[in-house]
Amino acid sequence: MQTPIDVQDRQQQRSVPPIRPTRVSSRVDINNLNITRSLGDKAFDVTVTQANGNRARVWVQLLDPQDGSYIVRYRLYESYSDIIINVQYKEQNVAKSPYKLSGMVYHEKCNCPVNRIDKWFEVMGCPETYHQIDEDLSIFDNVDLEKVAAEAVSRFSNRGMHSLSHYRIINNKIYRKTYGEHVGFKMFSDSVLLSLTRKVMLPDVEFFVNLGDWPLEKKDKKDNPLPIFSWCGSDLTRDIVMPTYDITEATIEMMSR
């Protein structure tokens, strides 16, 4: 029996694609002069407020690359309709400040998925396809999920040797069953899937994730290899490589600790 992975339900807000921790970067301009050197890490005052002037629950960081440009990044702790980012030097706006983000701006933990995944792709600026993904999936033309599940469990569920997670996403709810002894790294694949389901309604799908440090599927292309997602791969294996857990964890948890 697969275990459901729950997220806290919240009332869905406007169907505007979510904006997550965002970077605003611009060359600072003071008195019509480009600044090409650092003015110090406390030279500018940065505030993030609601468009109506009310306070926003947000953590703001100002980063100084030491070349005259500055990066403002922030993490929201509530969702808001329209926010204003003010960047000031000696109480004067610089560059194109104030910056206005129109529409709903969602915080990371908001469980308010967009209904149409195609619309979400469009607003996120996703290309129609990725060459690497097409290439990795090209050898899996026809997938019999029942056969894949039976063979994957039979071959890769040995305690002490393999760590495997079987996921099903049904009606945007995530269900998971693990195989093997050392399956603690499921927390990383769980967090990615939960983050996605908070943002967009995913199609019903079923797949396996290798939780171990080495790729699993060594079958040749002509021998019907199993489609298994992994954080690692090689020229001699058929695992479908995805972004490593340290990258995804750093992205999701950015500025939260």
- Say what the pLDDT of residue 173 is: 96
**Beta strands of the chain (E only): which ranges?**
3-5, 22-27, 29-30, 33-34, 45-50, 58-63, 69-76, 80-89, 92-93, 99-105, 163-170, 173-180, 205-210, 228-230, 240-241
- Say what the pLDDT of residue 32 is: 62
- Say what the pLDDT of residue 70 is: 81
Under DSSP, the state recorded for 140 is -
Total length of the chain? 257
Domain boundaries, the chain: 22-105, 127-252
Could you tell me the pTM of the whole model?
0.80
- Say what the pLDDT of residue 44 is: 87
Residues 6+ apart with CB under 8 A from 132: none
Architecture of domain 22-105: Sandwich (2.60)
- Say what the pLDDT of residue 124 is: 84
- Say what the pLDDT of residue 237 is: 94
Q: What is the rounded CA–CA span in Å between residue 17 and residue 39?
A: 36
- The residue type of 166 is H
Q: What is the rounded CA–CA span in Å between residue 188 and residue 255?
A: 17
- Say what the pLDDT of residue 13 is: 37
For the chain, residues with pLDDT lower than 50 are 1, 7-26
- Say what the pLDDT of residue 62 is: 85
